[in-house]
Amino acid sequence: MTLLDVEAIDGYYGESHIIQDLSLSVDDGEITALLGRNGAGKTSTLRCISGATPPDVRSGRIRFDGVDITDEPPEDIAVRGISLVPEERRVFSDLTVAENLHLADTVRNKANTLGRDLDFRDDGMSTSDIYEYFPRLDERRTQKAGTLSGGEQQMLAIARALHQSTDLLMLDEPYEGLAPQIIEAVENAIRRISEAGTTILLVEQNAVAAMKIADRCYVLDRGQVVFEGPAEELQADQETRDKYLGV
């Protein structure tokens, strides 16, 4: 079943037409990867879906769970169960791991109030489940987030998103700047989160790593979809990989 359906959107930064007639769909329970070189429009696409502006979506429709969310504000879209973990990871450096998660509680409660008239999901993942998924965070509950390694901060950012109510988790370059060993730990966490039923839309520069865990891939170039298909198909398509991904 389709959970997210992006239909022919056009996104603009001022007069720059960055996202061009872009369509994609994300199936319930799958991991979908959005790949492409620097500047291909991956982050902008996630921003369009999350309701963040710019870019402005001037045409096309975005539907989530059958509901048209194209013109909704970001807070409402979040309440519906779409979370974006941005590239910068944005954890609160001066707060401990536990406090960072607790803050997500506050956001969740606010979402519940905001969600009165929306068809929102109730609860996110419990703190104990989160610590089970991310044992490193469990060990570092009382440590300030600013002192965590890059990989641990990435895990904390993902954990916070899950602690709110998330049906669709959008991850923007979760492997960026991480050592191979840590990439593997984040990769395993993403797999387990997916197996537990959260749908994932993953943006990555590291196409090889992303293809490993994705069910379906989209490749973007200059704001347009130039490939879509199962991950195995992209893995076997050396021409597309050379031309658009350089791998």
Ligand X SMILES: Nc1ncnc2c1ncn2[C@@H]1O[C@H](COP(=O)(O)OP(=O)(O)OP(=O)(O)O)[C@@H](O)[C@H]1O
Residues that bind ligand X (CB under 6 A): 13, 16, 18, 36, 38-44, 54, 205
Q: Which is nearer to ligand X, 167 or 204 (CB)?
A: 204
Q: Which is nearer to ligand X, 111 or 157 (CB)?
A: 157
Q: Smallest distance, Å, CB 40 to ligand X?
A: 4
Q: Which is nearer to ligand X, 98 or 226 (CB)?
A: 226
Q: Smallest distance, Å, CB 222 to ligand X?
A: 8
Q: Which is nearer to ligand X, 2 or 16 (CB)?
A: 16
End-to-end CA distance of the chain: 31
3-state secondary structure the chain: CEEEEEEEEEEEECCEEEEEEEEEEEECCCEEEEECCCCCCHHHHHHHHHCCCCCEEEEEEEEECCEECCCCCHHHHHHCCEEEECCCCCCCCCCEHHHHHHHHHHHHHHHHHHHHHCCCCCCCCCHHHHHHHCHHHHHCCCCEHHHCCHHHHHHHHHHHHHHCCCCEEEEECCCCCCCHHHHHHHHHHHHHHHHCCCEEEEEECCHHHHHHHCCEEEEEECCEEEEEEEHHHHHHCHHHHHHHHCC
Q: Smallest distance, Å, CB 220 to ligand X?
A: 6
Q: Which is nearer to ligand X, 48 or 168 (CB)?
A: 48
Q: Which is nearer to ligand X, 41 or 115 (CB)?
A: 41
Q: Smallest distance, Å, CB 104 to ligand X?
A: 25
Q: Smallest distance, Å, CB 204 to ligand X?
A: 9
Q: Which is nearer to ligand X, 16 or 109 (CB)?
A: 16
